[in-house]
């Protein structure tokens, strides 16, 4: 088996390869002065089982183009099969038509990946469970919830003083699974309103009983507004300690500062997205997905 990595999150690719006792295979990812990319598979992959790891975080289009060229290079070089590991999937929130006339961007991406003849797709905590249905090939949908459950147990947080919280109705399935992993830890839901034009978020109301510790669980943090507003509402309702656990640290614009200044005490994320040193902050704790992904590739 040969493992190739795109440039979006090399540290994660190296850790995955390390967990599998393998090294990354070389591929030249050259950027021309005008920004165009050229990919060259430097090794013989004829008849080989290949794995390509590329997270499609910001700059999302650039990372997708690089990935498309990597996949094409491998197929043209005779790779027998390609497993694509995309820990964070760019465009996944555009998985249906919100307003008539909109493109379903996620479906377009899936069509391109299938044209490029990947054989298997591995992703982590997709925004909706409908996304695997866009594919006609096998999809392995992994989840960071087992890492979060472990962290909750290690900290000794339990049902007597803690409640799991989903900051919007879309996360209800996720929170029920986590609750089941934690001996039915109680959970509550926040009703969030988002203005589609401005992106502004309001945590309007909640259902369920707040406890001393509220553990907000989400699939991703982008602007950070969902977390900030949810934390405000939970504190108003009596929570004394607010913990956040979100799989994908998308962290656009001012998110790191907003999160550091928020009412949350700790923010757990995974390394599905590379977090540069400028985007790190004191409350941030990063859990690695590498062992989980390595196990599943095998």
Footprint on this chain of ligand R5P (rule: CB under 6 A): 167-168, 170-171, 201, 218-226
What are the helix and strand counts (H, E) for the chain? 8, 14
Question: In whole angstroms, how close is the CB of 137 to ligand R5P at the nearest point?
Answer: 26
51 or 250, CB closer to ligand R5P?
A: 250
Question: In whole angstroms, how close is the CB of 39 to ligand R5P at the nearest point?
Answer: 30
Catalytic residue selected from 10, 130, 192, 236: 192
15 or 262, CB closer to ligand R5P?
A: 262
Give the whole-angstrom CA distance, residue 154 versus residue 150: 6
63 or 127, CB closer to ligand R5P?
A: 127
Q: Is 192 among the catalytic positions?
A: yes
Give the whole-angstrom CA distance, residue 70 versus residue 156: 44
**DSSP letter for each residue of 120-152:** EEEEES-S-TTGGGG-SS-EEEE-THHHHHHHH
Nearest by Cα to 159 from 184, 139, 136: 184
Question: In whole angstroms, how close is the CB of 75 to ligand R5P at the nearest point?
Answer: 33
Question: In whole angstroms, how close is the CB of 163 to ligand R5P at the nearest point?
Answer: 18
Residue indicated by tokens 């949810």: 230
Q: What token pair was written down for 255?
A: 């998110």
Judge residue 223's burial from the number of C-beta atoms within 10 Å of its C-beta, 0-12 exposed, 13-18 middle, 19 or more buried: middle
2 or 248, CB closer to ligand R5P?
A: 248
Give the number of other CB atoms < 10 A from CB of residue 55.
26
Task: Please identify every residue annotated as catalytic.
Answer: 192
């Amino acid at each position: 088996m040969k493992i190739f990595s795109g440039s979006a999150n090399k540290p994660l690719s190296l850790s995955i390869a390390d967990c599998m006792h393998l090294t990354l295979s070389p591929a030249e990812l050259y950027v021309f002065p005008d920004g165009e990319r050229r990919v060259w598979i430097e090794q013989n992959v004829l008849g080989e089982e290949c794995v390509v790891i590329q997270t499609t975080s910001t700059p999302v289009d650039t990372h997708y183009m690089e990935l498309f060229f990597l996949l094409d290079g491998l197929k043209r070089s005779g790779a027998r099969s390609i497993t694509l590991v995309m820990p964070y999937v760019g465009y996944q929130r555009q998985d249906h038509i919100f307003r008539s006339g909109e493109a379903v961007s996620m479906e377009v991406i899936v069509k391109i990946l299938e044209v490029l003849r990947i054989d298997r797709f591995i992703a982590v905590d997709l925004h909706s469970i409908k996304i695997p249905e866009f594919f006609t090939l096998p999809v392995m949908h992994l989840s960071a919830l087992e890492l979060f459950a472990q962290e909750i147990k290690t900290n000794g947080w339990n049902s007597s003083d803690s409640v799991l919280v989903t900051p919007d109705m879309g996360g209800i399935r996720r929170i029920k699974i986590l609750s089941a992993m934690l001996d039915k830890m109680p959970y509550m839901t926040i009703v969030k309103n988002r203005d589609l034009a401005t992106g502004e978020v309001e945590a309007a109301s909640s259902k369920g009983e707040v406890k001393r510790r509220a553990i907000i669980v989400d699939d991703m943090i982008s602007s950070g507004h969902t977390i900030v507003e949810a934390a405000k509402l939970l504190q108003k309702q009596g929570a004394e300690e607010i913990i956040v656990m979100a799989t994908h640290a998308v962290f656009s614009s001012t998110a790191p500062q907003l999160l550091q200044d928020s009412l949350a005490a700790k923010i757990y994320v995974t390394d599905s997205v590379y977090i540069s040193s400028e985007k790190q902050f004191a409350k941030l704790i990063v859990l690695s997905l590498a062992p989980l992904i390595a196990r599943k590739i095998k």
